[in-house]
Amino acid sequence: MIFNTYWFIGFCAVFFPVFWLLRLPGLRRTWLLAGCAYFHYHFAGPAGVLPIVAIGIATYLLALPRIRLLCALGVVLAVATLCFYKYAVFLCHDAIGLLAPRLAADLGRQVQDLLPGAPPLAVSFFVFEFVHYQIEVYRGHEPIRRPDDFILFAIHFPSLTAGPIKRYGDYLPSLRQGLTGVSPEDVAAGATRLALGLVKKVVLADNLTLVIDFHQPQFTSLPPGQAWLFAGALSARILLDFSGYSDMAIGLSRMMGIRLPENFHYPYAATSLQDFWQRWHISLTSWIRDYIYIPLGGNRHGLARQLLNAMIVFALCGLWHGPAWNFVLWGLWHGAGLVLNHAYPRLLGPLGTRLAGLFARFPVLGWALTLLWVIPGWLLFFYEPATAWRMAVKLFTFA
Amino acid sequence: MKPAASRLGSWLLLAGIAAGFLLACGEGHRAAAYSKPRAFTRFHQRISPDASFYPPYAMLEALALARWAPGKTLVIIGGNSILNGVAQPESEVWSLRLQEMLGDRYVVVNLAFRGSMAAQGGALVAESLQRRGYPVIFVANTYPHAGCGRAADGPYGYFYWQALHQGKLSDYPARTADLQRWRTARPEAERIKLAETELGARIEAVTRAQSLWVHVSYRHLFTVWNFILGRDFWRPRVWAPDNEPAAPPVEERFRHEPEAELATVRGFTETLYVPGPSGSPQLDPAWPTRLGDEIEAAFVPALRPRMLMLLSQSAPPYLERLTPAERSRNRAAYAAAARIWRDHGINTIVAGEGFAASDYFDRLHLTGEGGRKVAALVAEQITQMNSD
């Protein structure tokens, strides 16, 4: 994590005081631009910066004339970049390989020769923001005219590493506000949020990671209570880790007077799976809803289509987290949960209606069931499917 | 809340953050000057980086000077786990025996760490104190093939950067140039890590955040989980006593992966041999220059006559299993290494020659009895060095 490095402390110690002292918006904008560029270069290295610069320039230029075909081309280009850097090897080995192993091996070798050692850092976040931008312009919204506005939107340093995924329609007005003047309230609120994020990430999540990594090899021999405690720690860790990042990003932005979208809202307090996804990684969920689920038809074409759309969307959501089957299965697990969540009142007839009434009357039941779905799901998120299965069996058989 | 009240609250919070930061820096500087483990014998495992406890460089100096008084000679011990006294219970640590043997005219301070190299930690303290006029003798250990390492390398490299940026070290161009060359040759990921460590040391010089944190974590509360402390990880480290166990009976020792251990013993010297003109192994002719350059870059010339290097020999049960030719090569490598070290002005002895199996806990570490023998060897050398 870059936010708890000495480099970043040094960066902030120089960046923020100068940002606050500069009173002219133009100068502040230039300073922010320089800071973001320097941060991105340090974070991603030259090899990681170049592809993002290339795809960024293409995105900016293709959207500028507001020609829908060019916007569509921009979307294809961005998605192709993501597929190439992040999913090419997975597609060759794990997808094509299932049908034609020899072809997959040949393709895999060729792809590997073309790919750098690792994909450009945060490429998924860049691509999602670029796709959002192209689609909004495609839908008739005004494109970003000023190149420096676009660059700041693309490489706004607090959200560069792990989001939240921004929307340019919200970001640019907030950016202008921050450039015009930062209030002490913003700085104080931002610093408090940053501190909260650091505590969540460094004190809580990182400690849980140490405990989890130590106990994981002995998971099968843990007593049932400790095994559930382990699963609970795993669930707490991902929330604290990820929401800690988001808090830091939101806090750092706020210290410049710029507001970023919220990303988490007490997700483990959700009383249904649908509720969970309205509280978990909100910027991703809303992105997927707006740019995949609704274009696929959403809930406009009957229950069966709605459920199919949910499965597709969640498989893609899983895949976005990483190029591996366990992520796809994690997405499908949640997709299946949502399908059940939606369909049971109709499928079970009067019993379903009674159950729905019961859940409405006693939200704690829904909360417990939601956790019982979400917690085993994290096993799929973190471990190979076979390992996750063994761990889940142990959890539910109390062996 | 009214806007004016909200603004005032924000200013107060920001002022509190700034004041808190300045206060913490002040406390950090204060802690750096005096904070050290109580009743210190050595950095045992639970107050060492193995257990996520990273003593700052300032603590090493504070420990070195804690018992010193004018007229006494400081004997600073560096090196690795062997000199740290791993396998010796707290009351049997060899440096306590050394203190007893040397008497009141000397102050022995054990600053050795597990896995540390001779050029690290204690070596920097010795250099710094000698530079400031303290009478110092530095004792460390190594093996023929291992050289002395680089001050900035590995998990203890931060001592070097902290000492450097706190202005404790001499301006020594040979070391600076060597480190620069070495650093440039590292893979990029390692260079980034080194830069991060160095930046941390620069920040430490100003804020003393690590000094404050280690002080708090030693006396009040620890926050990083680690398997050595397990569920007691949160307790202040003052609570964690030195619990190094006593060695088991000799017949129960030397059982851990004996073949792998034997291969390591062979490797200690075999790596120094190359095929000679007749095809039989001979000591690598480039080795003396290589090791010599390392020594020259690691230790400032003023410190070298005040240094005692121990070349730690492996335990007899392993040496006895070597072929006669291997044993002879082993002896020759140790003798040659000692010559090289001496050629660069450093007093050197081979520690372990003639020791019994019962003096060893495992392949390298010494029991209390073995430690006593080393202490006797070292005491004799130190007395001689100090009288020269």
Bridge partners for B106 per DSSP: B73
* CB neighbour class for A141 (10 Å; exposed up to 12, middle 13-18, buried from 19): middle
Mutate to test the interface with B, among A6, A11, A212, A230 (most CBs of B within 10 A): A6
Whether the per-residue pLDDT at B56 is higher than 70: the answer is: yes
In the prediction, which pLDDT does B234 show? 94
In the prediction, which pLDDT does B295 show? 96
Whether the per-residue pLDDT at A9 is higher than 80: the answer is: yes
CATH architecture of B39-149+246-387: 3-Layer(aba) Sandwich (3.40)
Residues of B in contact with A188 (CB under 8 A): 9-11, 13-14
Residues of A in contact with B203 (CB under 8 A): 6, 9-10
Interface contact A185-B227, CB threshold 8 A: no
Complex ipTM value: 0.86
Residues of B in contact with A185 (CB under 8 A): 6-7, 10
pLDDT tens column, B72-128: 999 999 999 999 999 999 999 999 999 999 999 999 999 999 999 999 999 999 999
Average pLDDT of A156-184? Answer: 93
Q: Which residues lie closer than 8 Å to B357 by C-beta, 6 or more apart? A: B250, B253, B254, B315, B316, B317
In the prediction, which pLDDT does B1 show? 57
Whether the per-residue pLDDT at A348 is higher than 90: the answer is: no
User: Alpha-carbon distance B267 to A233, whole Å?
Assistant: 44
Q: Which residues lie closer than 8 Å to A102 by C-beta, 6 or more apart? A: none
pLDDT tens column, A29-63: 999 999 999 999 988 888 889 999 999 999 999 99
DSSP string for residues in A255-279: TTT-------S-GGG-SSHHHHHTT
Average pLDDT of B299-326? Answer: 94
Whether the per-residue pLDDT at A399 is higher than 80: the answer is: no
Percent of chain B with pLDDT over 70: 99
Q: Which of A96-100, A128-132, B53-57 has the lowest mean pLDDT?
A: A96-100
In the prediction, which pLDDT does A159 show? 94
Whether the per-residue pLDDT at A246 is higher than 90: the answer is: yes
In the prediction, which pLDDT does A98 show? 77
- For chain A, the domains span 6-181, 185-254, 267-397
In the prediction, which pLDDT does A349 show? 84
Q: How far lies B29's CA from each of A342, B58, B62, B386, in Å?
A: 61, 10, 12, 35
DSSP string for residues in B194-244: HHHHHHHHHHHHHH-HHHHHHHHHHHT------TTTGGGTTS-GGGS---P
In chain B, which residue's Cα lies nearest the Cα of A208? B225
For all residues of chain A together, what is the average pLDDT? 92
Tell me whether B14 touches chain A (CB under 8 Å): yes
Whether the per-residue pLDDT at B323 is higher than 80: the answer is: yes
Bridge partners for B281 per DSSP: B275
Mutate to test the interface with A, among B210, B223, B233 (most CBs of A within 10 A): B223
Average pLDDT of B264-290? Answer: 89
In the prediction, which pLDDT does B2 show? 63
Q: Which of A34-43, A273-282, A301-310, A311-320 has the lowest mean pLDDT?
A: A301-310
Residue A321: active-site member: yes
User: Alpha-carbon distance A53 to A59, whole Å?
Assistant: 10
In the prediction, which pLDDT does A376 show? 93
Whether the per-residue pLDDT at B369 is higher than 60: the answer is: yes
- For chain B, the domains span 39-149+246-387
Q: Which of A27-31, A129-133, B1-5, B338-342 has the lowest mean pLDDT?
A: B1-5
DSSP string for residues in B36-74: --TT-S---GGGSGGGT----HHHHHHHHHHS--TTPEE
Question: Which residue do the tokens 């990303």 mark?
Answer: A263
In the prediction, which pLDDT does A381 show? 95
Percent of chain A with pLDDT over 70: 99
Average pLDDT of A345-367? Answer: 89
Other beta carbons less than 10 A from residue A106's beta carbon: 13
Q: Which residues of A touch B (CB under 8 A)?
A: 5-7, 9-10, 45, 183-185, 187-189, 191-192, 203, 206-207, 210-211, 214
Nearest-by-Cβ selection for B7 from A184, A203, A211: A184
